Amino acid sequence: MAQWNDYHHEDEDVDGEERDESGVDYKSTGRDSLVFLVDASKEMFIMGEDEEPSPFDMTMQCVRSVYTSKIISSDKDLVALVFYGTEQSKNPRNSFKHVYIYHDLDLPGARRVQDVDGLRGEKGAQVAGETMGSGNTNLGEALWCCSNLYSDIKLRLSHKRLMIFTCRDTPHGGDSERDRQARTKASDLKETGVVIDLMHLMKPGGFDVSLFFCDVVSPPEDEAELGLQMEPCGKLEDLQKRVRAKEMKKRSVARLNLCLGEGMNVAVGVYITALQARKPNAIKLYRDNNEPVRTKTRLYHTQTGSLLLPSDTKRVQVYAGRQIVMEKDEVDVIKKFSDPGLELIGFKPMERLKLHHHLRSAVFIYPEEEMVTGVSILTLLRRCSVRNVFALCKYTRIRNSPPRFLALVPQKEEVDDGQAQIAAPGFHGIFLPYADDIRTLDTPQLPTASESQVDKMKEIVHKLRFKYRSDAFENPVLQQHYRNLEALALDLMAPEHIEDLTMPNVNMIDQRLGSLAQEFRDLVYPADYNPEGKTAPKRKPAEAAGGTEKKPKVEMSEDELRGHVQKGNLGKLTVPVLKDACKQFGVKVTGTKKQELIDALTAQLTK
Amino acid sequence: MARSAKTALVLCLDVGFSMSNSAPGQEPPFQQAKKVIQKFVQRQVFAENKDELGLVLFGSDNTKNNLAKDDQYQNISVHRQLMIPNFELLEEIQNDVHPGSQQADWLDALVVCMDLLQNETLGKKYERLNIVMLTDLNTPSSPDQLDIIIGNLKRAGITLQFFLPFPVDGGGSNPPHGGKALSREQQQGLEMTKQVMMSLDEEDGLEEVYTFSDAIEKLSVFKRVEKRPMAWPCTLTIGSSLAIKIVGYKAVCEERPRKSWSVVDAQTHQKDDIKRDVVYCLNDDEETEVQKDDTIQGYRYGSDIVPFSKVDQDQMKYKTDGKSFAVLGFTKQSMINRHQFVGTQVLKVFAPKDDEHAGVALSGLIRALDDLKMVAVVRYVYARNGNPQLGAAFPCIKEKYECLVYIQLPFMEDLRQYSFPSLENNKKYTPSEDQLSAVDSLIDSMMLVEEDKDGVKKDLFKVNHIPNPQYQRLFQCLHHRAVNPSAPLPPMDPWLTTALQRPLAVATRCQAPLEILKKKFPLKEVVKKKELKTSKELFGNSTEEPDAKKAKVDEEEDFNLADITEGSITQVGSVDPARDFRTLIRQKSLPFGEVCQQLTGRIEQLLGNKNMNYYIKCIPCIQTFREQSVQVGNADHYNSYIQSLKTSIPVRGLQEFWDMLVQDALTLINKDEVEGSTFSSHDAKQFLTAGEKKEEVVAAVVDDTGDVDDLLDMM
């Protein structure tokens, strides 16, 4: 998330509000870490029915997708991959038997993605069998080993999570000694702030969490959640969804008071749930060793050459020829209106929220968990939702940030069949535009379609219906960028091909429409109308008469031109004429300035 | 794109003596009119357009115009020819435009203005010629030429606006609310004004007559500079065989100020005196600088750093084949979540103005989508080098037009799928019936949309009618600073503050329900709140909002540090002399007398600053001094110090500090406390009485400083 900071290369003074929106500073909060602890026993390699991939294969696909998504969206997070129940052991000093650290806790990189790729599919299973094999299980040792991973990290970790992937509900096959040992180690881990999740996979006869794992995993964030997600995952998609939901620590961009009225404050967190991910900025490397270089920006005085401190400068704007000077502090304080917070103005019926009143990604407002006042927010949420109203609030995110108005739209909780949360309970904060943000347009007066025309279009729309899902489209620009990097990092011959889902599937569309497109065209367009023509139809005849291409209007003979050159009055010709002349005599010009054209022509013709 | 369309406008201000007349307690019309002009010019200056402005004063003591001849057109002065307005004009208006002692015919002034406009716009292109007349109409004017004047106005295409001290329809014989009744001249003038305005524009003519007070209110809002909407012509495609020509316009977009701040040298205010310089250095201890040419471009890929030259990048990057507005398919409107909209703009998509066929085709699509409650999911590419977007095109049917509304949708990478603890199925969070109804009545009392008697819905708080307060404030400050360069920034305009608050009617209405709500939802986090508040006070100056946790950690660290360093204290330091003193006494590493000397040295040092904060720091020192002396059983050092301190008080002007000692009853140590003392308890008390007279005053002072005391204690 921190990387988003870098994507905006806005001017210092164009208020970096959006920049702040997404800004979570890792320096102050530390980094997230995630350990995948994967069962490598024989059971994990059994293929499912109907060609379903084996649990191990599914897990590897999941790990891979987390690796790549971490690289793209939060590349400061640390990830580790550890197997337990292996034949071979690989860990520092090999003090833990049957535990195989595949990847240490570190940033995921291209090599690691490739490694995990190597463990996928049938071939992957073979590789896994050769390198690690399946052997005894001792989860306690595995957990101990993981806890060492965390403690070896010198960086400050803000969030520690451990995910256990297994399809065995009794890993030690009834060995109570080992069960006990695992429980103890798990509680040790939990004490040090590690959250342990169970990603249990389908097994014949069902996975019974209560047999063992209920004592190992962290208690859910609240009681209500206990009921959820106790079903094992049977499908890759489910597993991925579950992992994704857990994998990222929610971070609030602000913790504020929602002020309902004098003396009635409720603490809420402000979160961002959708924000455009952008290509990160390039970094500068030193040519000799490919190490990143640091940039230092300095201000200095042009006359004296002395370095200037920020306090040695002021800010100006010029209006009507007059320079208006302010201190930097004044520039900042001008933006201050009120203290940070959300201030309730009132309520409006939902239909007053206009679709086109959109300025930027919405925020999500959720009561601060540790505060008891969650109940008042919940009540508000419920009543707003029942009465179909939204709350209008004034939003000041930080000191010196000018106010914006938010429509707080109630969102009721929704869960899917697998009891996974699709929509979290809380308020969506929609940013509302000010008068300045709305532009007045001249709307053209044009005839409207007749009923039969509309009906024909309805048929077309009907043919091309699909179920939109917001997470179904990948950003081709980003994907291509990262594939390129991946290819360069791994010395691949060519980057992996990406499928551009934003491209319309023209063949499929044409096929589905059949004759409908032609029928609609016949209904709305006259026979001689070309909707793909470059210019407006009125001008068409003129253009047709003028020939296929714009010819140079004034063809100048070489002699004529030479005459001009000799007399030195090329300057009297117009720029288009000069350009045409350049083309005519094959003179290459780099610029479009008149003098450049003249110079180029003169040089050519005086040779 | 230079805009050739500009306006020429002449402000015609009546400065005649009647303009200075006003009912007691009311602002004279002249002052009001001047304000209107100032606000208007101000607005023009900041708009920085090419509009030109002239200023004609009539009723002035002097005469200066082209038409003046004999006794014609007297007391009319062209103060400024047509020019682009600037701050000099603003200053002139502020300093040089004063009420005159003459009167002049406003019709004559109008003719001078017309003459000015016509002469100075000759041969230049203007979109609009306009005269703004500000007068109280209190001069007799001859109506015989009215028709000629109207004819000329019409012929020259000059528009006219009137600003009067009274409303146009409140005229006649009825006195306008509370004010003076109109004079006969004014009534006549009003009739003539009506006649002029109606003949220029039969229907809406009178709408161009304003009152001063209205105008001031409206002109207080800095109007943004209208941007010409940029057309984005493209073709909407559905598959390969269906295309509709379209034009897109930005309809909603966060408006940024046109100008940004530039950095100048604080002394010279010159931009050129400052240069920003970026240097690259290696990440080694010496921070070795390297040349820009010796650097190459790279990207992070997780833990890897991949060198990736610009050339390679351009070669390998994703490329689009130009503009696109291609339909991928259609989906139910309900499948699109409004809170997942991304991007920073909304486009409205029309058919081209002159293309009826495209209009019909697009209308077909819009209506079909509207009927079916569906949207088109579209691939949008702005231009060849633009990145593709995925977006939804919603149908939008208005009375006057139809269009598609395009808004960008997120890519998978843009989404953060957080899950939050459930609120619904949680027993902890089950509201009672009482609570539900309390919230309900709050919602009722705070509804911003209400129906009036006629069933017409009225919105009390339209955000999209509020000008962006950030820019209002910015321009207010810029203007103020431009005219008063050395004055501090002005306070916020009251109207702006009000515009951002809960409407008064609602604020009053919701009082009672709020009180009930407070009772139904007792705030249990009071303790936490308070903590947060103190830390806020402490770190109030930092730019970031402090959180309680952070403050706590800091405090702890402080404490630990103190513990650790305690062992190595060798002398009484200046940070916390009292603590050091205590530690040293306990350690017994130095003789008592020497430690006392060190402490008194520090106290003297602190008192030398003659500042309440330092006095406050001294008090605990003396307290500790006394305490420890009693404990050790040696009163000599303390008593002699206090005695010498007392004698030096008047000379050093430390009465204030002495009063504090008295307040804290830091008496001499008496016999009862330490045997060796030479003072009886009575003597010791008596010793302080010198300051008793002032005690009352002192008490107040000390009370006031209580907070500061606490604060310093904590630090």
Prediction ipTM score: 0.75
> Judging by DSSP bridges, how do beta strands B7-14 and B52-58 pair with one another?
parallel
Which residue of A301, A426, A477 is in closest CB contact with B420? Answer: A426
Identify the weakest region by mean pLDDT among A275-284, B213-222, B470-479: B213-222
Average of per-residue pLDDT across A30-55: 83
What is the average pLDDT value for chain B, to the nearest integer?
79
Residues 377-406 of chain B with CB under 8 A from chain A are: 377, 379, 387-390, 394, 396, 400-403, 405
CA distance B185 to B198: 20
Beta carbons within 10 angstroms of residue A202's beta carbon: 20
Average of per-residue pLDDT across B455-472: 87
Reply yes or no on whether the pLDDT at A374 is more than 60.
no
How confident is the model at residue A369, as a pLDDT? 56
Q: Of residues A434 and A263, which shows the higher confidence score? A: A434
The structure tokens listed for A251 are 């971070």
How confident is the model at residue A445, as a pLDDT? 86
Which residue has 């900042």 as its token pair?
A332
How confident is the model at residue A249, as a pLDDT? 62
Q: Which of A518, A583, A535 is nearest to A556 (CA)?
A: A583
- The answer to whether B408 touches B394, Cβ cutoff 8 Å, is no
Burial of A406 (0-12, 13-18, 19+ CB in 10 A): buried
pLDDT digits (tens, 9 = 90+) for A298-339: 888 888 888 888 888 899 998 888 889 999 889 988 888 988
Contact A420 B227 (CB under 8 A): no
Identify the DSSP state of A493: S
How confident is the model at residue B364, as a pLDDT? 94
Chain B CB contacts of A270 below 8 Å? none
CA distance B414 to B343: 11
CA distance B81 to B115: 11
Residues 6+ positions from A39 with CB-CB distance below 8 Å? A55, A83, A84, A85, A137, A164, A165, A166, A167, A168, A171
Average of per-residue pLDDT across B586-615: 80
- Judged by a CB distance cut-off of 8 A, whether residue B241 touches chain A is yes
Interface test with A, best of B222, B330, B419 (most A CBs within 10 A): B419
pLDDT digits (tens, 9 = 90+) for B172-206: 444 444 455 777 888 888 888 888 888 877 677 77
Reply yes or no on whether the pLDDT at B390 is more than 70.
yes
State how far residue A453 is from chain B, nearest Cα, in angstroms.
Answer: 6
Determine the number of helices (DSSP H) and then strands (DSSP E) in chain A. Answer: 20, 18
CA distance B182 to B185: 8
How confident is the model at residue A592, as a pLDDT? 65
Which residue of A295, A387, A532 is in closest CB contact with B235? Answer: A532
In Å, what is the CA distance from B350 to each residue of B336, B358, B497?
22, 9, 38
What is the DSSP track for A421-481? EEE-SEEEEEEEPPGGGBPP------PPPPHHHHHHHHHHHHHTB----TTS---HHHHHH
Q: Of residues A13 and A288, which shows the higher confidence score? A: A288
Q: Of residues A218 and B639, which shows the higher confidence score? A: B639
Identify the weakest region by mean pLDDT among A229-243, B63-77, B116-130: A229-243
State how far residue A178 is from chain B, nearest Cα, in angstroms.
Answer: 33
How confident is the model at residue B352, as a pLDDT? 92
Contact A502 B390 (CB under 8 A): yes
Q: Which of A84, A80, A96 is nearest to A41 (CA)?
A: A84
Reply yes or no on whether the pLDDT at A246 is more than 60.
yes
Residues 6+ positions from B346 with CB-CB distance below 8 Å? A356, A358, B250, B251, B252, B253, B405, B406, B407
Identify the weakest region by mean pLDDT among A90-94, B87-91, B239-243, B475-479: A90-94
pLDDT band at B389 (very low <50, low <70, confident <90, very high): very high
Q: Of residues A433 and B456, which shows the higher confidence score? A: A433
Of the candidates A27, A467, A567, A572, the residue annotated as catalytic is: A27
Identify the DSSP state of A541: H
Average of per-residue pLDDT across B608-614: 75
What is the average pLDDT value for chain A, to the nearest integer?
79
Residues 6+ positions from B194 with CB-CB distance below 8 Å? B168, B205, B206
Spatial strand order in the sheet of B262-265? A322-326, A313-319, B262-265
Reply yes or no on whether the pLDDT at B578 is more than 60.
yes
- Judged by a CB distance cut-off of 8 A, whether residue B238 touches chain A is yes
State how far residue A150 is from chain B, nearest Cα, in angstroms.
Answer: 18
Which residue has 């146009």 as its token pair?
B168
Reply yes or no on whether the pLDDT at B533 is more than 50.
no
Reply yes or no on whether the pLDDT at A170 is more than 80.
yes
Contact A424 B363 (CB under 8 A): no
Chain B CB contacts of A301 below 8 Å? 265, 273-275
Q: Which of B390, B417, B421 is nearest to A66 (CA)?
A: B417
**What percentage of chain B exceeds 70 in pLDDT?**
85
Average of per-residue pLDDT across B220-224: 67
Average of per-residue pLDDT across A502-520: 91
Torsions phi, psi for A69 (to 5 deg):
-70, -30
Q: Of residues A80 and A71, which shows the higher confidence score? A: A80
Identify the weakest region by mean pLDDT among A91-95, A557-561, B450-454, B539-543: B539-543
- Judged by a CB distance cut-off of 8 A, whether residue A237 touches chain B is no
In Å, what is the CA distance from B265 to each residue of A298, A466, B269, B297?
14, 60, 5, 33
Torsions phi, psi for B238 (to 5 deg):
-125, 105
Chain A CB contacts of B461 below 8 Å? 345-346, 392
- Judged by a CB distance cut-off of 8 A, whether residue B129 touches chain A is no
pLDDT band at A422 (very low <50, low <70, confident <90, very high): confident
- The answer to whether B325 touches B351, Cβ cutoff 8 Å, is no
Chain A CB contacts of B448 below 8 Å? 345-348, 392
C-alpha of B447 from chain center: 27
Residues 501-560 of chain A with CB under 8 A from chain B are: 502-506, 509-510, 513, 517-518, 520-521, 523-526, 529, 531-532, 536-538
The structure tokens listed for B399 are 């009375």
pLDDT band at A392 (very low <50, low <70, confident <90, very high): very high
Identify the weakest region by mean pLDDT among A353-367, A530-544, B303-317, B429-443: A530-544
Residues 6+ positions from B27 with CB-CB distance below 8 Å? none
Chain A CB contacts of B284 below 8 Å? none
Closest residue of A to B333, CA-based? A468
Average of per-residue pLDDT across B550-574: 47
Q: Which of A193, A414, A237 is nearest to B334 (CA)?
A: A414
The number of C-beta contacts closer than 8 angstroms across A and B is 677
CA distance B614 to B611: 5
- Judged by a CB distance cut-off of 8 A, whether residue B265 touches chain A is yes
Containing H/E element for B83? strand B76-83
CA distance A399 to A396: 7
How confident is the model at residue A483, as a pLDDT? 86
How confident is the model at residue B2, as a pLDDT? 43
pLDDT band at A381 (very low <50, low <70, confident <90, very high): confident
Spatial strand order in the sheet of A78-84? A99-106, A78-84, A31-39, A157-166, A194-200
How confident is the model at residue A372, as a pLDDT? 53
Reply yes or no on whether the pLDDT at A46 is more than 80.
yes
Spatial strand order in the sheet of B128-134? B76-83, B52-58, B7-14, B128-134, B158-164, B209-211
C-alpha of A372 from chain center: 33
Q: Of residues B390 and A443, which shows the higher confidence score? A: B390
How confident is the model at residue B696, as a pLDDT? 40
C-alpha of B695 from chain center: 47
Q: Of residues B354 and A263, which shows the higher confidence score? A: B354
How confident is the model at residue B272, as a pLDDT? 81
Respond yes or no: is residue A250 known to be catalytic.
no
